[in-house]
Amino acid sequence: HMHTTTQFLMDLIPTSVIGAFADNNILQVLLFSVLFGSALNLAGEAASGISRLINELSHVIFRIMGMIVRLAPIGVFGAIAFTTSK
């Protein structure tokens, strides 16, 4: 069915931020991220605490991802061993 431009633009606005992430709606998540980043930038020093928190959380997430990447070959080996042992 056809969507109008107005309907498309209205669909960009999420009813809830959590819902946009949960529903994997990329355009809504992107819009929220751009608006959130812009608001942090405009808030300046008042948002420095939140900016530091986001920065520290990103370091933790990248460390976790690094551990997963290092352990992935073991998982692949296990999957191959399981498959070939059948």
Tokens of 49: 């605490």
For position 9, what pLDDT does the model report? Answer: 87
Mean pLDDT of 60-78: 96
Length of the chain in terms of residues written: 86
The model carries a pTM of: 0.65
Of all residues in the chain, the percent with pLDDT exceeding 90 is 81
Q: How far is CA 6 from CA 13, 29, 80, 82, in A?
A: 11, 19, 51, 53
User: What does the pLDDT read at residue 2?
Assistant: 67
